[in-house]
Amino acid sequence: MKNYNKKISEFKPVIVSNRLPIQLSSDNGLWKIKPGTGGLVTALAPILKNNDGTWVGWPGAPLNHELKQLLEKGGQDMGFGLEMVALSEDDIKGYYQGFSNETIWPLFHDLLDHCNFQMNYWESYQSANYQFAKKVATCSSRGNLIWVHDYHLIMVGHFLKEMGIENSAFFLHIPFPPKDIYIKLPWRKELLEAILSYKLIGFQTERDRRNFIQCVRHLLPEAQVSHHRKFPYIKYNKQICRIGAFPISIDFRYLNELSKSNEVAESGWLFHEKFTNQKIIIGVDRLDYTKGIPHRLEAFENCLERYPELRGKITFVQLVVPSRTEVPEYQALKRRIDEMIGRINGRFTEHGWIPIHYIYGSVDHVELFGFYRSSEIALITPLKDGMNLVAKEYCTACIEDIGVLILSEFAGAASQLGSGSILVNPYNIEEVADAIFTAYYMNVDEQKKKMNMMRRNIMKFNVFRWVDQFIGLMENTTEQEETNRAETVSI
């Protein structure tokens, strides 16, 4: 782990996200709590523990006295404060399920057909963001470093500024869309102005940063932008913010050691035993229309159709993790996936060989990395993704530098892993099919060269470096008078 800036303790960091970093479950009416998992929690927990920090978020259930006490104890066990935002069912329906996931999510992934622009969603989004900001205000002071995460909470910085708290930063985990897509949003100017309320704005890729600047130029012509190449300033309404690209990553060292463990090796061996004399292609996705699963299945079918010599020699294992199962659109997507897999298997299955092995459900880390280790090819083809950490996990699991990554050019990870992977347009079915054929026949020397390149990149630019770079720049920005440093020009 990198050494964080020594001055960070002066800022007492406050992390703000939609959900608290916990896993909540109920057993016969009794709540149980355990620390959350995942890269974000892994990276941020040490900062909060060592610097008297606080995490603000929704606990995932209606707040009552019992749950509040449990969360207080959970915070003590984790080593930092947990501050709970109480959201009603109407809040969740309008703010989370509505504006966040039916408006911003599809819009920012360039999928306008899935957008639902309802005024009551927008009003609910503002109301919930105000509640988050109010909670942050009660547990922070002028000197705190406040780091707000993701598309659910874009407006928090705006409300904090109204409350006199201006020391906040924001990181967008999903893509930021190009101007021609973003301007379709009815509240485009209000949301853009809210983002500019933050002192520092972080995006996943340079592409997202450029898209944001283009939107500012088009919608806020009175804004001023500096010529700084990497971290430009934007001055708007007497507020100066800094923007940059900070590609998120994973804990390479931990996951690399996990991949070497006996448990993962045994899990992988048992998995591969089911597919003897075959190369395994792995796909791992949350159930979501942005992941391009139907397009991927169509490409695999096209590959079997055009390259019949691969029949019986490859098996496509698609793991789909359930998500938003109560939403009709996601139910329809699952039915479509089920039907496509049934049709493709029915068309190509031979004695002793089924082309697609379908897993619908969640698996633990050991089993997942066993899948990765056993798979000669990873097929990761989202229609658009902020980063896609599955691609980085797969490479991390390839501890012998053997394996081929087929990656969508529209995934944020393509900017870092493009030179080592086979980049494809997920909408081009034949191109993806050809990539599968190429990956199957790629020689070991070429695999090792490409995989080693990607693994070195992930090891160097790990999740701790991501945190260190973002917070380091935030500290630097907070400590100095931006107005004296920024050479701004009118647009």
Domains of the chain in sequence order = 6-248+465-490 (3.40.50.2000), 253-460 (3.40.50.2000)
- Could you give the percent of the chain with pLDDT greater than 90? 78
Reading the block at residue 399, the tokens are 């501890």
Confidence at residue 365, expressed as pLDDT on a 0 to 100 scale: 93
Q: What is the pLDDT of residue 71?
A: 82
Catalytic residue list contains 173: yes
Helical pair 252-260 and 444-460, crossing angle rounded to 10 deg:
140
Instruction: State residue 478's pLDDT score.
Output: 66
Report the amino acid identity of residue 52.
D
Write down the catalytic residue from 173, 218, 228, 365. 173
Secondary structure (3-state) at 172: coil
DSSP state of 196: T
| Amino acid at residue number 435 | A
In this predicted model, what pLDDT tens digit does every residue of 342-355 receive, in sequence order? 999 999 999 999 99
* pLDDT of the residue at 255: 96
Show pLDDT as tens, one digit a residue, over the chain (491 residues). Answer: 344 444 454 568 999 999 999 888 777 767 788 877 777 887 888 888 888 889 999 988 877 777 788 888 888 888 898 999 999 999 999 999 999 999 999 999 999 999 999 999 999 999 999 999 999 999 887 678 899 999 999 999 999 999 999 889 999 999 999 999 999 999 999 999 999 999 999 999 999 999 999 999 999 999 999 977 789 999 999 889 999 999 999 999 999 999 999 999 999 999 999 998 999 999 999 999 999 999 999 999 999 999 999 999 999 999 999 999 999 999 999 999 999 999 999 999 999 999 999 999 999 999 999 999 999 999 999 999 999 999 999 999 999 999 999 999 999 999 999 999 999 999 999 999 999 999 999 999 999 999 999 999 999 999 999 999 999 898 877 665 444 444 444 43
pLDDT of residue 424: 98
Catalytic residue among 91, 285, 288, 385: 385
Helix ranges (H only) for 363-428 are 365-374, 389-397, 414-417
**What is the pLDDT, as a whole number, of residue 157?**
97
At a CB cut-off of 8 Å and minimum separation 6, what does 55 contact? Answer: 14, 15, 16, 17, 20, 21, 44, 48, 80, 81, 82, 83
pLDDT of residue 283: 98
pLDDT per position as a tens digit, 15-58: 999 999 988 877 776 778 887 777 788 788 888 888 888 999 99
Q: What is the pTM of this model?
A: 0.93
Q: CB within 8 A of 326, min separation 6: which ones? A: none
Distance separating alpha carbons of residues 46 and 288, to the nearest angstrom? 31
pLDDT of 11 reads 65
Look at residue 491 in the predicted model and tell me its pLDDT. Answer: 38
